[in-house]
Amino acid sequence: MKNAVIIATTLLIAFHAMAETPRHRVLVTTDIGGTDPDDDQSMVHLLLYADVLELEGLVASPYGAGRKKDILEVIAEYERDFATLRTHSTRYSTPEALRAMTKQGALESPGTAGFGSATEGSDWIVRCARRDDPRPLHVLVWGGLEDLAQALHDAPDILPKLRVYFIGGPNKMWCVDAYHYIEQHHPTLWMIEANSTYRGWFVGGDQSGGWGNQTFVTRHIAGRGALGDYFATQLKGTIKMGDTPSVGWLLHGTPNDPTQPGWGGQFVRVWDQRLTVFDHVTNETDKAEAFGVVEFAITAPDGFTSQNHATMIFDKRIPAQGTLEGHTLRFRFSPRDAKVWPYIIESDFPALHGQTGSFTAELPPLDKTMTASATHPNWWIDDQSPQSTEGIHRGAKTVNRWRVDFLRDFAERMDRCVR
């Protein structure tokens, strides 16, 4: 009897300790529903860990891709597995709670200002950040920065509460104006900018046997409940999950110190002079930093007014809308790859229409990256060292070194849907 009392007391203490363990507050913005279904995969992974993270917001963002209905579609699959998941932990959020925190973000480009009008998503970021809670709010950005930029513009007082992990690279290319606004006007923001580190989730590392991008899905994901089957239909059953390092950062690592190793990578302080401004139509001898910001500030031709329009099209597919500021026509772009980037100007103004140009994006020299920014004290970026580089992807090895660990843990979580 005495032993039974001791065991019961021990279990009760353990239960209360678990119940009182503070969890990370998390809000995700995602371009789920676009042309790359890896956000669907990352959303499945996120919901499987909803018992160890305190989810507060799921925002469909940015314009052109993220749609609230696509988040709700994954939640519907989660609801089918919810009863089984709840047998493993009562901390799993109810489907109703998840739906209530799902919001629609920006549907239109804010233009070169980087912000426009408040959205349901940006208002929710403000509301969550202003909650009376001493813990920081971790904002995991899986798509564009438009709603975060809007929230900071509308409520700059929230900045100290935010801890942002931004999956940059191609996402930065599409939201460069919002990025530029945040970088220029909120330089003290706590930010991890992962432009290439995130690729370590699916590139390199141990991919032998059951750890391969396809074999892992076949062996450990497909057939594991509704969420497992849903995951397996994305990207033809191949792992990408390019946004998941932001979640891994909170699951295993030192979230308050980006220089320390963890599943989400290991980072260095950002450096200065990452903005390149051209005042002319360029050619490939003109150089700029890959993953930096390139701004074209071209003198508008006589007769061009705000009633006219002009767009630079990079690589035949990526548009940068021009904005007339006085006599200057301004365009911005962020090159995600080190290569020559051609462009053409499309305009209703004959003197501009059809003009072509190009520039060369190059990775920064290592000596430049070793001097931390004097103006951005809380901003981190990919480790540039050769030992952290996987192929051309700087920093990726700081993630893929953990591949077996994070995939084994994911497989164990997936089993919760059927046991």
Contact yes or no for 110/145 (Cβ under 8 A) = no
Residue 2 has pLDDT above 60, yes or no: no
- If you average pLDDT over residues 186-196, what whole number do you get? 98
- If you average pLDDT over residues 130-153, what whole number do you get? 97
Strands 102-104 and 53-60: parallel
- For residue 267, the cross-strand partners are 382
- If you average pLDDT over residues 173-201, what whole number do you get? 97
The arrangement of strands across the sheet holding 310-314 comes to 287-289, 356-362, 340-347, 310-314, 318-321
Beta strands in 52-181 (DSSP E): 53-60, 102-104, 137-141, 162-167
Confidence of residue 5 (pLDDT cuts 50, 70, 90): very low
Using DSSP, how many helices (H) and how many strands (E) does the chain show?
14, 17
* 286 three-class SS: coil
* 332 three-class SS: strand
d(CA 279, CA 247): 41
Give the model's pLDDT for residue 7.
44
Between 34-38, 257-261, 320-324, 367-371, the lowest mean confidence (pLDDT) is in 34-38
Question: Would you state the structure tokens that stand for residue 33, as one six-digit string?
Answer: 């529903």
Residue 385 has pLDDT above 50, yes or no: yes
Compute the Cα dihedral for 101, 106, 112, 115 and give only its sign.
Answer: negative
Class of domain 275-362: mainly beta
Q: Which residue has the higher pLDDT, 347 or 5?
A: 347
Residue 235 has pLDDT above 70, yes or no: yes
Q: Is the peptide bond before 386 cis (omega within 30 degrees of 0)?
A: no
Contact yes or no for 34/65 (Cβ under 8 A) = yes
Give the model's pLDDT for residue 238.
96
Q: Identify the CATH homologous superfamily for domain 22-271+377-415.
A: Ribonucleoside hydrolase-like (3.90.245.10)
Residue 16 has pLDDT above 70, yes or no: no
Contact yes or no for 234/40 (Cβ under 8 A) = yes
Q: Which residue has the higher pLDDT, 62 or 294?
A: 294
- If you average pLDDT over residues 332-345, what whole number do you get? 97
Strands 53-60 and 24-30: parallel
Residues 6+ apart with CB under 8 A from 377: 188
- For residue 133, the cross-strand partners are none
Give the model's pLDDT for residue 19.
46
* 295 three-class SS: strand
Q: Which residue has the higher pLDDT, 107 or 332?
A: 332
Burial status of residue 88 (CB atoms within 10 A of its CB: 0-12, 13-18, 19 or more)? middle
For the stretch 19-54, pLDDT in tens is 457 899 999 999 998 777 899 999 999 999 999 999
Question: Would you state the structure tokens that stand for residue 152, as one six-digit string?
Answer: 């900071």
Closest CA to 379 of 240, 226, 194: 194
Between 51-55, 76-80, 103-107, 242-246, the lowest mean confidence (pLDDT) is in 103-107
- If you average pLDDT over residues 313-341, what whole number do you get? 96
For the stretch 363-382, pLDDT in tens is 999 999 999 999 999 999 99
For the stretch 152-167, pLDDT in tens is 999 999 999 999 999 9
Question: Would you state the structure tokens that stand for residue 133, as one six-digit string?
Answer: 């809670």
Domain range annotation of the chain: 22-271+377-415, 275-362
Give the model's pLDDT for residue 63.
67
Give the model's pLDDT for residue 10.
42
Closest CA to 295 of 174, 169, 176: 176
Confidence of residue 108 (pLDDT cuts 50, 70, 90): confident
- If you average pLDDT over residues 196-205, what whole number do you get? 98
Between 9-13, 215-219, 234-238, 354-358, the lowest mean confidence (pLDDT) is in 9-13
Strands 293-299 and 328-333: antiparallel
Angle between helices 68-86 and 38-48 (to 10 degrees): 30
- For residue 345, the cross-strand partners are 312
Mean pLDDT of the chain: 93
d(CA 30, CA 71): 9
Report the predicted TM-score, pTM, of the whole model to 2 decimal places: 0.93
Residue 18 has pLDDT above 80, yes or no: no
- If you average pLDDT over residues 155-184, what whole number do you get? 97
